[in-house]
Amino acid sequence: MKKVLIINGPNINMLGIREPEIYGTQTFSELIEYISEEAAKNNMKPLFFQSNSEGEIITEIQNAYGKVDGIVINPGAYAHTSIAIADALKAVAIPTVEVHLTDTGKREPYRKHSYISEACIAVVMGKGIKGYAKALSILE
Distance of alpha carbon 61 from the chain centroid: 12
- The one catalytic residue in 23, 78, 115, 132 is 23
Concerning whether 80 is annotated as a catalytic residue, the answer is no
Angle in degrees, 0-180, between the axes of helices 130-139 and 28-41, rounded to the nearest 10: 30
Q: What pLDDT does residue 49 have?
A: 98
For the chain (length 140 residues), average pLDDT per consecutive 10? 97 91 89 98 97 98 98 97 98 98 82 93 96 97
Q: What pLDDT does residue 74 have?
A: 98
Structural domain count of the chain? 1
Q: Is the pTM of this model over 0.85?
A: yes
SS3 content of the chain, % helix, strand, coil (to 5): 45, 20, 35
3-state secondary structure 27-61: CHHHHHHHHHHHHHHCCEEEEEEECCCHHHHHHHH
Concerning whether 23 is annotated as a catalytic residue, the answer is yes
Task: Output the domain CATH number for residue 56.
Answer: 3.40.50.9100
**DSSP β-bridge partners for residue 96:** 71
Domain interval for residue 125: 2-139
Go through the chain and tell me how many residues it has: 140
- The one catalytic residue in 65, 80, 100, 113 is 100
